[in-house]
Each structure stands twice: as C-alpha cells, then as structure tokens.
Amino acid sequence: MKWTTTLIGAPDATLDPPHGVEVCPDCGLIQRLQPLQGRGKLVCPRCGHILERTSGRSINAAMAMTLSALFLLIPANFLPLLSVDIFGVHHQSVLASGIWGVAAQGWPVVAVILALELLILPFLRFSTLAVVLLQLDTGHYPSWLGRMFRWSEWLDQWAMLDVFLIGFGIGYERVAPFLPIEVGTGGWCVVGLAFLSMLTRATLERREIWRRIGPNVESLDPDQEYMGCSHCGMPVATHQEGQACPRCAAKVWRYKPQSTMRTLAFTLAGFFVIPSRMLTLWNITIR
C-alpha cells in the first residue's frame, strides 16, 4: 500500500490529499492518509501506531451495540443482581442496593465512585455515543457533534463495566463455595453490558467518525507550522495554540501545560499504593 507522509513545512504539503491530513496521536507526525481499499490498516511510519483500520470495524455495528447496551442498562439497574438463600430467608440485591450498602458500611467515597462508574457514567457514555452515531446515520452534522463525540470518548475511560465484570466474577467465585448464591437476571444483564461495551470499543472506527464529523484539513501551508489536536488528530496552526479545535472544540496545545510535574506527582503518589497490596483488604464474618 503506497501512501506519503508530510512533515511540517515539507515541499509537498500543499498537495490536496485524497483522504485528508491527520496527525498521529502518539508521535505527532503530520501525514496525509490514502483511502483504504477493502480490509486493511494504515500505520504511522514513524512510531507504528495504527491510524485507521477497516477490518472488523463498522459504524453500523457500533451503533447496534450501543443501542443494545442502552436497552440493557434498564434491567441491569432494576432487576435482581444476586439472590441468596440462608436458613430459609431469601434475599435479593440490585446494583443500587449494593452501592447503598457500601455507603452504610462507612465507605461513602467508594459508594460514590461505584455509582458513577456503574450507573451514571455508562448511561452517559452510551447515550452520547448513540446520539453521535444516529446523527451520522441520518446525515445530520450539527456544530456540537464533535464535542459530544469527544465527551463520549472521555467517558469510555471511566465507565468501567468490563473491569466490574472481572471483579464480579472473582467475588462470585470466592463467595459461592460458602453461600447458596445465584446470579439474577440483572447480573446477566451486567455481563451482557460488559461484553457489549468491549464490542462497541472494538468495532468503532474513530478516525472515520472524525472524518465524517469534519471539518477536514485538505491542504497545508508550507510556510506555516502546525500542531495536532490530541483528541481528534486535526492539524491546527501553532499561532492558534490554546484555542478550541475547530472539529472537537478541545483546547489545542503544543505541549500540555505542566505535564511533566503532574506526571511526576502522580508517579510518586503511586508508591503509597504499594502497602495496600500487602495488608488485609477486608474481613468477612458470618454468624
């Protein structure tokens, strides 16, 4: 597959690319992308980052997964998650009751985090993504579409349904040998939600969505220096540093402000987590 790249100020930067000029999100190389024929992928020649992939990616499939996940959110939140029978007493729990129980045990901060990551953020993630994909499917491109897709991508980092599924499975495996516990309908809906979340992430071709949202850069001024938006990959002139990206409305910076000090602070703070791996996490007493 033949395709060319464009560095800042290169002589061929004014040529009109057939697929637009984009910036590699990993190394910042400005390059023009050629249309993919059939199944394949475009790889950054500098760092090897996959810029675009057509095999296994489909906007229609991602929309189907997203809408299915939205429908599953309702039974996952209101139907029984687990049921326990102890000495003839039958008890059922839902997601909300479990979060409330964590708060009642003196862990309000943990309860708030669980409520955000299991109830609120997944709903916001799938609803915003559904709006974006439905707008693209109907051919409507409002000015707020790029901003909403950026929010949806940001929410995907925090709506950790797949991580919750792993914890849910480990907890069930630990408790099941000691208690007659069964997974309810809501629990199976949570399992389905986690898989739909992963499938949505796998089938979504973000570069194609950004291209359809627009605007797209079709040519570059060879006398101008450019930087790339870290969210949508759109080249922006350096004199517009600190201003909103025309496509996703995020502020564009040549370098993130105070990124080195922030990274160092979080790295040093991570050392305080080491004792938590050697101390007792919790105790369970069954009477």
Strands (E) located in the chain: 21-23, 30-32, 41-43, 50-53, 82-86, 89-93, 181-183, 226-228, 235-237
Give the domain-ending residue among 165, 188, 204.
204
Segments forming the whole domain that contains residue 80? 59-204
Contact predicate 132/148, CB 8 Å: yes
The answer as to whether 274 is a domain residue is no
| Nearest residue to 153 (alpha-carbon basis) of 134, 129, 136 | 129
Task: Give 252-283 pLDDT, tens digit per residue.
Answer: 888 777 888 888 888 888 787 777 667 766 66
Distance from C-alpha of 172 to C-alpha of 195, rounded to nearest angstrom: 18
- Sequence-separated (6 or more) residues with CB below 8 Å from residue 246: 215, 234, 236
**Threshold 0.95, pTM exceeds:** no
| 199 and 63 in a common domain | yes
Task: Give 181-215 pLDDT, tens digit per residue.
Answer: 888 888 888 889 889 988 898 888 888 898 888 88
Distance from C-alpha of 6 to C-alpha of 67, rounded to nearest angstrom: 39
| 129 and 48 in a common domain | no
Task: Give 10-60 pLDDT, tens digit per residue.
Answer: 333 333 334 678 888 888 888 887 776 667 778 888 888 888 777 777 888
Strands (E) located in 78-120: 82-86, 89-93
DSSP state of 235: E
pLDDT at residue number 7: 33
DSSP state of 106: T
Q: Among 189-193, 217-221, 232-236, 280-284, whose mean pLDDT is lowest?
A: 280-284
| 17 and 135 in a common domain | no
The answer as to whether 3 is a domain residue is no
| 83 and 46 in a common domain | no
Higher-scoring residue by pLDDT: 210, 162: 210
- The structural domain count of the chain equals 2
